[in-house]
Structure 1
Amino acid sequence: MASPNSSDLSPHFLLASLPGLESTRFWMATLLCFIYLLAVTGNCAVLCIVRLEPGLHAPMYLFLCMLAAIDLALSTCTVPRVLSCYWFNSREISFSACLAQMFFIHTLSAIESTVLLAMAVDRYVAICHPLRHPAILTNAATARIGLLATARGVLFFLPLPLLLQPLPFCSSRVLSHSFCLHQDVMNLACASTTPSVVYGLTAILLVMGLDALLICLSYLLILKAVLGLPSWKERLKVFSTCVAHICVVLAFYVPLIGLSVVHRFGKDLAPVVHITMGHVYILVPAVLNPIIYGVRTKQIQRRILSLIHINSNRTAQ
């Protein structure tokens, strides 16, 4: 058997392109760039507004800032490289750069999952134990949760590139996505990947799987408390405080599950399906999260309208 990476003194992979759509690749990349800029603008706006609005200096909106920062990092570590692939046909990515990108994608996704769980716990405490909420979820506690989420993501997903590092990649180097994911890279190895398969599945179940289960449990307890209220008007008013978070959870987990299903059962699907699902997984949460909370939060709406008014006055002058 060939030694690790012996077939190439400079190991590399080829990012997936859009097969059969070469003539429209430029316009597809332009659309992708527009969506990326929309995500960057929206998440930067959330960070700035929460910082400038004292009324938003509360755990739920500090968690929202964490989501914005994660989405910015996740989209920025992938989309520019994808645009380079589409616009300049620069498909080659080095082995080390691919492993680094893979680590950041999975680690940031794990951190986002943990923050979503923390937001669910925040809603549970606010609704089921409102008198204890200010004492339990302080801003300092929120910051510690953010650090814990980061440490958890790094510790669970750092082994993924380390397990792939010594493997030989002697056959096809063409990925099925326009960026590097663990399962995608692992499938190109020409040696046993059992340790990597077992650890990858374990990490996903212990992070995203456990988080999703605990989020569902939190909302079952919230639903039980809401149904105990005397009137439907009160029930709807209380539960409406959870709507934005539920939408954000769905925006994260639905593309994640969709991508997993495509990897597991979609081997016979057209390559464009894999590429599209990858883009959805990276960009949909980054685009939707600021919009969801912008629609649901009056302070964010007022600040945005104020900034628009100020900019329009400057333009008029």
Structure 2
Amino acid sequence: MRVLMFAAALVASACVAEAAPRPAPVTDVHVHLPAPDGVPALLAAMDRHGIERAVLLGCPEGQPGALRFTASNDAVLAAASAHPERLVAFPALGPEDGPEALAELRGRGACGVKLYLGTPELHDRTLDDPRLAPLWAALAAERVPVILHVNTVRYEDELSRLLAAYPELALVCPHFCGARTSVDRLERLLAAHPGLRFDTSGGAPLHAAAGFAGLEQARDRVGALLRAHPERFLFGSDLTAGPRGPQRGDDWDYHLAANLDLLRAPTLQFWRRDEGSVRGGLTRGEYRGLELEAQVLAPILRDNAERWLAPCR
């Protein structure tokens, strides 16, 4: 009799374990793919962290001018074509590109584009320069999903003029739109531009360490903004999935877990600035996370991204 009761308990516990809800799937809107040989490891890392889909961004390589994105764009388009249910192609465009380059990439399967216009090294004209107007007009008219990295310390006014001219742009601005260390700026951008979306990615280790520290210092204010505007934020990791990326091997897991835990957990583990460290001023450390509630997390981790990407389906 005891044996039968024990067996029944085992069966019951197994049923409970099988019925336990799995974490909701995640869409990561910010992954770089410099070369195609990063795809198998990327898919495996996505599986380990419950990431259902990832937006692959083209990134600059060592070539000059228009050729700087060619190899990475080819890799992004090929990967998304081979894994259409898991990977979404966002090849890159630079300051010299216009509607013709956009049409060519979309004809090859691009869902959206990553624009390299708002960083100092690729900022040879203002964001609202008339020479860029044909590209912005095409992106706005066709509601193409866009990721535009903007250094808002330097170029906030340019971004504001751009969004005033093209309020219908389906624009995501990474790294809390460059405002991880200035909640005043984040609040200002949220209020001024109702159509602007923000991704939550930390960035490469040095930048992420500064960003996580800034978010931790203003934890309550940042959490209040995300709770008040959950529809405006999209999860991103800024993982570089390639052999030359800043994260390698197990560090991919460290990087992905930190960016997820920023939103969902009371604490996260990541590099902290330490001038005495042998790793370029970084040492492993801990930060306070935002510990957002499930109803706030759901749109940020997946739903907002799926709506943003819906025109591509």
Same fold judged by TM-score > 0.5?
no
TM-score by length of 1: 0.24
TM-score by length of 2: 0.24
Higher strand share goes to which structure? Answer: 2
Higher helix share goes to which structure? Answer: 1
Question: Highest relative contact order (Cα 8 Å, sep 6+), 1 or 2?
Answer: 1
